[in-house]
Amino acid sequence: MSAALETPPPAEQGDLSPYRVFSREEWARLRADTPLTLTADEVEQLQSLNDPVSLDEVIAIYLPLSRLLALYVAAAQGLFKATQRFLQADAGKVPYIIGVAGSVAVGKSTTARILKALLARWPNTPKVDLVTTDGFLRPNAELTRLGLMDRKGFPDSYDTAQLLRFLHDIKAGKRHVAAPLYSHLVYDVVPGEQTSVDRPDILIVEGLNVLQPARLPRDGAAIPFVSDFFDFSIYLDADEEDLHRWYLHRFLRLRNTAFRDPLSYFRKYASLSEKEAIDFAEGLWSRINLTNLRENIVPTRQRASLILRKGASHRIEQVALRRL
């Protein structure tokens, strides 16, 4: 059994599971009358490299999820207003924050972008923003100085304090909260470049370790987790062998595309033979990504509100929704 399945997924936990588990067909029926607002061309533009998503996938999986989130957001807004009345306070608008977690190459970016597009097209047209935690990675120079370049993507490679401040300010309803930008081309945080998040109705936060808890203090001191600021969270799950295969395939495609850009951090790998490229990618997978998956990512799966379980073709085969 692979390490990714050491903790049985919800469907294997029987009556003790805190999740309600749905087959693809059962989940698809929960769409009800939710309208399809994306075209096949738009879906194709939203998907990431090596992460095929069809219009059928949007209809079967993402439209029911959009409907569920509409209900959750409305309920959260009602609870917030009731609490404000109780406190005799007026804090204005507070964004609903959705976390999206999972391994490298599992398709987090595609899921986040599809959700953003669908949620922004609700009848009341809410303002939806998307931020990835890549921007909160420590710069390469700092990672090198700390001896952490081979742990890039691990929890200790992020400026967690900066990420927590960002989420705190978002939840406090502050205007124009800045988030740093990351370039996958240069494989680093871009100095001086930021994006501004200005009180959206919904904010999607996508990243490898967004469900990672902090180590609990012995003295009971308040140590916030990133996920403390989430109203809903999604974990994208897949077998370890499939993630490995998807990662290698993506690396080889990048070798023939983005890596050939003169500005690319990985430019030197574009000229490798296919065997050399595979050997290098295998090393990255086993030394960094697989270790991170086993030690830090998979253990957070059961903290998610919703688990989307992918099959070998990237098709979501099972949905597990945490019971209220």
Share of the chain above pLDDT 90, in %: 75
Positive or negative: CA dihedral 267, 272, 275, 276: negative
Q: Has residue 239 got a pLDDT over 90?
A: yes
* Beta pairing partners, 137: 158
* pLDDT confidence tier of residue 13, bands split at 50, 70 and 90: low
Q: What are phi and psi of 81, to 5 degrees?
A: -65, -40
Q: Has residue 251 got a pLDDT over 50?
A: yes
Can you give 170-197 as a three-state secondary structure string? HHCCCCCEEEEEEECCCCEEEEEEEEEE
Q: Has residue 29 got a pLDDT over 90?
A: yes
Q: Has residue 11 got a pLDDT over 70?
A: no
- By mean pLDDT, which of 87-91, 175-179, 199-203, 228-232 is the weakest? 87-91
Q: Has residue 313 got a pLDDT over 70?
A: yes
13 or 197, which is more confident: 197
User: Which are the contacts of 242, defined by CB distance < 8 A and separation ≥ 6?
Assistant: 310, 311, 312
- The per-residue pLDDT of the chain, averaged, comes to 91
Q: What is the pLDDT of residue 5?
A: 44
Can you give the chain as a three-state secondary structure string? CCHHHCCCCHHHCHHHCCEEEEEHHHHHHHHCCCCCCCCHHHHHHHCCCCCCCCHHHHHHHHHHHHHHHHHHHHHHHHHHHHHHHHHCCCCCCCCEEEEEEECCCCCHHHHHHHHHHHHCCCCCCCCEEEEEHHHHECCHHHHHHCCCHHHECEHHHECHHHHHHHHHHHHCCCCCEEEEEEECCCCEEEEEEEEEECCCCEEEEECCCCCCCCCCCCCCCCCCCHHHHCCEEEEEECCHHHHHHHHHHHHHHHHCCHHHCCCCCCHHHCCCCHHHHHHHHHHHHHHHHHHHHHHHHHHHHHHCCEEEEECCCCCEEEEEEECC
Q: Has residue 248 got a pLDDT over 70?
A: yes
Mean pLDDT over residues 297-303, rounded?
Answer: 96
Q: What is the pLDDT of residue 12?
A: 55
Q: What are phi and psi of 198, to 5 degrees?
A: -115, 85
Q: Has residue 3 got a pLDDT over 50?
A: no
How many whole angstroms separate alpha carbon 11 and alpha carbon 25? 15
* pLDDT confidence tier of residue 1, bands split at 50, 70 and 90: very low
Q: Has residue 315 got a pLDDT over 50?
A: yes
Q: What is the pLDDT of residue 8?
A: 55
- By mean pLDDT, which of 148-152, 242-246, 262-266, 320-324 is the weakest? 262-266
Q: What is the pLDDT of residue 2?
A: 43
* pLDDT confidence tier of residue 125, bands split at 50, 70 and 90: confident
Mean pLDDT over residues 89-97, rounded?
Answer: 83
Q: Has residue 217 got a pLDDT over 80?
A: no
How many whole angstroms separate alpha carbon 211 and alpha carbon 208? 8
Give the domains, in start order, of the chain with CATH numbers.
Answer: 3-322 (3.40.50.300)
Q: Roughly what angle, to the nearest 10 degrees, separates helices 108-119 and 63-87?
A: 70
Q: What is the pTM of this model?
A: 0.92
* pLDDT confidence tier of residue 51, bands split at 50, 70 and 90: confident
94 or 189, which is more confident: 189
Q: What is the pLDDT of residue 90?
A: 76
How many whole angstroms separate alpha carbon 309 and alpha carbon 238? 6
Share of the chain above pLDDT 70, in %: 95
**Which helix or strand (DSSP H or E) is residue 26 part of?**
helix 24-28
